[in-house]
Structure 1
Amino acid sequence: MPDRQRADARRNYARILAVAEEEVAAHGSGASLEQIARTAGVGSATVRRHFPTRHALLEAVSRTRVEALGERARELTGKGDSRDALVAWLSEVVAYSVAARGLAAALAYDSSGSDPAHGNACSATLEEAAGPLLDLAVQDGAVAADVTVSDLITLVVGIALATEHHHDPAARADRLFRLTVAGLSPRHRTTTERT
Structure 2
Amino acid sequence: MVTRAHRPLRADAQRNRDRVLHTAAEVFAAEGLSVPVHEIARRAGVGTGTVSRHFPTKESLYAAVLLDRMGQLSGYADTLVAEHDAGTAFFAFFTRLIQEGAAHRGLAEALAGSGIDLDSAASDADCNVSDRLRTMLAEAQAAGAVEPGITFPDLKALTAGCLAYDGPDPDRIIAVICRGLRPTPASTSTDTSGGGTI
8 Å contact from structure 2 (residues 37, 48) kept in 1? no
Q: How many residues align?
A: 173
1:32-71 equivalence runs, <5 A: 32-40=36-44, 41-43=46-48, 46-47=51-52, 50=55, 52-54=57-59, 56-71=60-75
| Aligned counterpart in structure 2 of residue 136 of structure 1, from 128, 139, 154 | 139
In the other structure, the counterpart of 2:31 is: 27
The whole-number CA distance in structure 2 between the counterparts of 1:24 and 1:175 is 25
1:166-185 equivalence runs, <5 A: 166=166, 168=168, 171-172=169-170, 174-183=171-180
1:145-184 equivalence runs, <5 A: 147-148=151-152, 151-153=154-156, 155-160=158-163, 162-163=164-165, 166=166, 168=168, 171-172=169-170, 174-183=171-180
TM-score (norm. length: structure 1) = 0.62
Q: 1:93 is matched by which residue type in structure 2?
A: L
The one-character-per-residue Cα deviations of 1:94-152 (angstroms, maximum 9, x if unpaired) are 12222334232244444x5xx5597463996212333432221232353436612x653
Change (3 A) 1:143 1:21: same
SS at match of 2:128: helix
8 Å contact from structure 1 (residues 107, 120) kept in 2? no
Q: 1:67 is matched by which residue type in structure 2?
A: G
Identity of aligned residues (%): 27
Larger Rg: 2
Change (3 A) 1:15 1:73: closer
The whole-number CA distance in structure 2 between the counterparts of 1:117 and 1:74 is 19
> Quick check: 67-76 or 138-147, which moved more?
138-147
Change (3 A) 1:53 1:91: same
In the other structure, the counterpart of 1:121 is: 122
1:82-93 equivalence runs, <5 A: 82-93=86-97
SS at match of 1:30: coil
Change (3 A) 1:94 1:9: same
SS at match of 1:31: coil
SS at match of 2:151: coil
Change (3 A) 1:10 1:151: farther
8 Å contact from structure 2 (residues 90, 140) kept in 1? yes
Deviation at 1:83, TM superposition (A): 3.3
The one-character-per-residue Cα deviations of 1:4-63 (angstroms, maximum 9, x if unpaired) are 9x6486555334323313322432333332311344433379538615344x43342244
Give the unaligned 5+ runs of structure 2: 186-198
